[in-house]
C-alpha cells in the first residue's frame, strides 16, 4: 500500500474537498535508517526530477574541527547518543543530531544521511 501525505477528501462536516493536485504529488516513503557499516547507497528520483542519495550504510564521516577550522574524513566507530530515539543507539542508526564516536573524538551529525547520501559532523568538546 502506498504511503500518502495528503489530507482527507472529506471535511469535518461530511462534505467533500475538490482536489487541486494529482495523486502522485503526495506520495511519501518509508524512512531510511542509516546504519554504521560498509558503504551501501542508491539514488532515488523525487518530484521535479531531483535526485536523492538514499544511504543505507556508511562507515566514514566528514568531521569539522572548529578549533583548527579543518575538515577531515574519519571512520565512524559507533553511535553514542541519539536524541531522535534511544533505541537508535543500540542499533547504531545515524540521524541528524546523533552523537558519533570517531578517531578524533565525539562529533554531532549535522547532515541528513538518509536523504543527502553523506555524513557531515562537528566535533563536540
| Tens-digit pLDDT profile for residues 23-64 | 677 888 888 899 999 999 999 888 788 898 899 999 999 999
Q: Which of 124, 120, 56 is nearest to 93 (CA)?
A: 56
How many helices (H) and strands (E) would you count in the chain?
2, 9
| pTM for this model (two decimals) | 0.80
Fold of 34-123: 3.10.290
- Could you tell me the residue ranges of all domains in the chain? 34-123
Amino acid at each position: 500500500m502506498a504511503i500518502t501525505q495528503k489530507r482527507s477528501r472529506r471535511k469535518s462536516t461530511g462534505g467533500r474537498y475538490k482536489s487541486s493536485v494529482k495523486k502522485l504529488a503526495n506520495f511519501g516513503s518509508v524512512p531510511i535508517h542509516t546504519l554504521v557499516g560498509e558503504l551501501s547507497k542508491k539514488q532515488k528520483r523525487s518530484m521535479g526530477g531531483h535526485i536523492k542519495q538514499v544511504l543505507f550504510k556508511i562507515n566514514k564521516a566528514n568531521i569539522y574541527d572548529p578549533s583548527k577550522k579543518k575538515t577531515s574524513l574519519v571512520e565512524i566507530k559507533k553511535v553514542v547518543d541519539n536524541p531522535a530515539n534511544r533505541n537508535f543507539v543500540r542499533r547504531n542508526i545515524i540521524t541528524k543530531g546523533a552523537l558519533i564516536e570517531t578517531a578524533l573524538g565525539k562529533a554531532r551529525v549535522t547532515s541528513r544521511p538518509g536523504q543527502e547520501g553523506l555524513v557531515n559532523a562537528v566535533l563536540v568538546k
